[in-house]
Homo-oligomer: A and B are copies of this chain.
Amino acid sequence: MSITQNLTISISSSSSPFLAPSNFNSRSQLSLNAKSVSICKCVATPQEAETAYKTRVSRNENMGKLQAGYLFPEIARRKSAHLLKYPDAKIISLGIGDTTEPIPEVITSALAKKSHALSTLEGYSGYGAEQGEKPLRSAIASTFYPDLGIEDDDIFVSDGAKCDISRLQIVFGSNVKMAVQDPSYPAYVDSSVIMGQTGLYQKDVQKFANIEYMRCNPENGFFPDLSSLSRPDIIFFCSPNNPTGAAATREQLVQLVRLLQVAIETSSFSKYAGFTGVRLGWTVVPKQLLFSDGFPVAKDFNRIVCTCFNGASNISQAGGLACLSPEGLKAMRGVIGFYKENTNIIVDTFDSLGFKVYGGKSAPYVWVHFPGQNSWDVFSEILEKTHVVTTPGSGFGPGGEGFVRVSAFGHRENVLEACRRFKQLYK
């Protein structure tokens, strides 16, 4: 089939369950009644499968501004290549900050109980409030923000912090300027680029135009020099920081609060409860927060949540409620305490090898300094010689160059073995 220049993209949404029976039949029988066609013909058929369909739809130029691939897929690619080279290598991953400890039973029992309840008339529930179930919003407010004037309806339950960051960027739109810690978690910058808040990528300085990168390094205690800030509209501030593991001190936070006075907070159960796969988070948007025209920010965020999201899974929310029970909180502390021991082991190891080590205090990330070296070179040498996956600091922004992030998430024996290998490499 010839490539035509004037195609439109059609998005076919099958919103009805009533397709299902006939489709299941028609598909298994490969018959061609209207109902199967309604789905089948919407997608490329075998004889067309080799053809590319160039539409006349222009690519979103903001997407074109994004650089390379997302950091962690690139690391996964290099890990796979390493495995091809060393099929028998026992690779240990201290790269992506992914939880490894099982979820405490007091929490999984609640997940399972809700699952079973969904097969009963009394226990079944369909669409929930997009903002989350009242008891969970209330438990989050009282557990994390007691006596702060934060009300249940200031809490928006979500499927995770990364997703909420993008929903917040949609609320702000393209006409804001943001500031971000450098180094920082890539999603802040990438979501800003996608929303059209930035100019092009400046290769020479490795920064996007119209984003203010607030350098965080050993010299300033990994806290930005707020006095030198231009006038951004939005500041993304992450503490304890990913990747540097720096937890801001009270004095630093007071400085920040004095300058800003108001804030939106995004958090999640991912690391607290090992919910990285279960997906549950929240964002606090105090109703007192107003745009310059006096319109409440929370009202626009609520509109986005209702239009672009349909609420976190009711099963995950049942798990979140169990997390915030006295037993749940106790169980989470246990898991977190375990990871903190991992952190100490990693910090002590690099410390004993004479490296400058940062972070790792009240943070799951250890930030190791390799002055004058290229982060990816260090990453490669460590992988090549110890089969341990870390994360190159430059992947978090130009301020991360010369550093490597070591994650404390891992089974104890793996963390110990990785540290033995580090000692071999750098002894």
Given A277-B126, A315-B278 in contact, is the A293-B58 Cβ separation under 8 Å?
A: yes
- A308→B186 CA distance, assembly (Å): 11
Which of A3-11, A83-91, A375-383, A388-396 touches B?
Answer: A3-11
Q: Mark A238-278, 1 if CB is under 8 A from B, else 0.
A: 11111000011110011011011111111110111010111
Residues of B within 8 A of A44 (CB): 148-150, 262, 286, 288
- 5 pairs of A and B residues whose beta carbons are closest in the complex: A49-B149, A60-B173, A17-B271, A111-B115, A166-B308
A424 within 8 Å of B by Cβ?
no
A321 within 8 Å of B by Cβ?
no
Residues of B within 8 A of A62 (CB): 173
The reply to whether B176 and A57 contact each other, CB–CB distance below 8 Å, is: yes
The reply to whether B148 and A20 contact each other, CB–CB distance below 8 Å, is: no
The reply to whether A39 and B144 contact each other, CB–CB distance below 8 Å, is: yes
The reply to whether B9 and A300 contact each other, CB–CB distance below 8 Å, is: no
Given A160-B310, A166-B307 in contact, is the A364-B196 Cβ separation under 8 Å?
A: no
Residues of B within 8 A of A362 (CB): 16, 18-19, 22, 35
Residues of B within 8 A of A233 (CB): 8-9, 55-58
The reply to whether B264 and A10 contact each other, CB–CB distance below 8 Å, is: yes
A203 within 8 Å of B by Cβ?
no
Given A18-B340, A174-B196, A248-B38 in contact, is the A53-B261 Cβ separation under 8 Å?
A: yes
Which of A93-101, A348-356, A397-405 touches B?
Answer: A93-101
- A142→B364 CA distance, assembly (Å): 41
A33 nearest CB neighbor, chain B only: B250
A279 within 8 Å of B by Cβ?
yes
The reply to whether B8 and A235 contact each other, CB–CB distance below 8 Å, is: yes
- A374→B420 CA distance, assembly (Å): 76
A372 within 8 Å of B by Cβ?
no
Q: How far, in Å, is A22 (CB) from chain B's closest CB?
A: 7
Q: Mark A209-247, 1 if CB is under 8 A from B, else 0.
A: 000000000000000000000011111111111100001
A75 within 8 Å of B by Cβ?
no
Residues of B within 8 A of A18 (CB): 240, 247, 336, 339-340, 343, 362-364
Which residue from B13, B128, B312 sits with its C-beta under 8 Å from A161? Answer: B13
A123 nearest CB neighbor, chain B only: B102
Which residue from B6, B276, B292, B329 sits with its C-beta under 8 Å from A127? Answer: B276
Q: Mark A305-317, 1 if CB is under 8 A from B, else 0.
A: 0111111111110
- A248→B300 CA distance, assembly (Å): 36
Residues of B within 8 A of A262 (CB): 7, 9-10, 44, 53, 55
- A65→B73 CA distance, assembly (Å): 38
Residues of B within 8 A of A234 (CB): 8-11, 57
Given A38-B247, A307-B190 in contact, is the A313-B55 Cβ separation under 8 Å?
A: no
The reply to whether B34 and A247 contact each other, CB–CB distance below 8 Å, is: yes
A204 within 8 Å of B by Cβ?
no
Which residue from B15, B61, B237, B276 sits with its C-beta under 8 Å from A11? Answer: B237
